[in-house]
A and B are shown apart, each in its own frame.
Chain A
Amino acid sequence: MDVTIDIDDPVPQFQQLIEQIKAAVAAGALKAGDALPPIRQLANDLELNSKTVAKAYKLLERDSIIETKGYRGTFVHPDAQANCEVDLQDWTLSKLTQTVAELREAGVTDSEIRNAFTAAIGRRPSAK
């Protein structure tokens, strides 16, 4: 299974990597438990900064597409195929759209929503 990165593509390189790994998982080319190359190997082969590959791996791990097992390396997550169908970015956008619509209905102005959003995102989550 090969991945190709196009540096002329406006899509960020880490995003291209994420999309191709997700596509490989969805198509069954990468199965649950399959080993993935270390960050350094992939960065060297693709002539990318290792931070770019690390970012892609971190986001894939957050989405439970891959999992890191310490010194043993990175593997495809057991539920990767199901998790590929969940797009966190889409879900976040729909949630925000819904909230913004409710706020507008309540008479809150766009400027107030923007200020509240900035304040909310800057606020640390309260410790439970």
Chain B
Amino acid sequence: MTVAEWLAEAKADAQKRGLPELIPMLEGLAQASERLRKADWNDNPDKDTPRDPNQ
């Protein structure tokens, strides 16, 4: 699912649930999700994930 597709569905769902105030917040979340997907460290799922030293 692309971020644009997800956003369209999320906005429609928020509207249906009577929470229109969520719409601008969802747009902010969509920008953050786009940023994650475009990050250079997320460009190749075959790359090893760095091990989280806290885990």
| Chains A and B are bound partners | no
Question: Which B residues are within 8 Å of any A CB, using their own CB?
Answer: none
